[in-house]
Amino acid sequence: MKLSTKGRYAVMAMADLACHCDGKPVALADVAERQEISLSYLEQLFGKLRRGGLVNSVRGPGGGYLLSRDADEVRVSDIIMAVDEPIKATRCHSGLPAGCHSDKSRCLTHDLWEELGNQIYLYLSSVSLADICQRRLLGTSGLHHGNDKQDTLVAAG
């Protein structure tokens, strides 16, 4: 499964917003600069995020965007779903009996990919923006694999 730039950029921007908000609106231009994302692309994404109820916009001088709820209540899966990014690993349509073969049967690996999509969704549902900002993600992404036999853990904070 490959997550498109739409989903990745939406999560990056929302994490930036959560980390820099401090109760005051954050200008999208600032998010765009810090995250190196096109401002016009962010404007499109934040329109969807606003319609999805994840952010509130504040107009006028000092305006920008605020999270609509606490960062620990906003899940990565919420963000991805708000920008219409499907979380699936199969080419078949989820929930339908018809499969991806020309005769409408399911491929041999359908259940494998369907379950992978479910696991990805469960993981993304378990991670909040607060987890990202406070670097509370677990896994091997902090491991440095050198040529020697010992792997060293890079301190995550």
Exposed (0-12), middle (13-18) or buried (19+): which is 27, by Cβ within 10 Å?
A: middle
CATH number at residue 12: 1.10.10.10
Residues 87 and 80: beta-carbon distance below 8 Å = yes
Q: Is 15 domain-assigned?
A: yes
Give the pLDDT band (50/70/90) at residue 94.
Answer: low
Look over the chain and give the mean of its residue pLDDT values, rounded to a whole number.
Answer: 83
Does residue 26 fall inside a structural domain?
yes
103 falls within a domain: no
Predicted local distance difference test score (pLDDT) of residue 156: 39
Indicate the pTM of the whole model: 0.78
On whether the CB atoms of residues 30 and 20 are closer than 8 A, the answer is: yes
Tell me what pLDDT residue 131 has: 95
Number of domains in the chain: 1
Q: Please give the residue range of the domain that contains residue 23.
A: 1-84
- Tell me, what's the pLDDT at 148? 47
User: Residue 125 to residues 21, 45, 75, 113, 129: CA-CA distances in angstroms?
Assistant: 22, 20, 5, 18, 11
Mean pLDDT of 108-125: 87
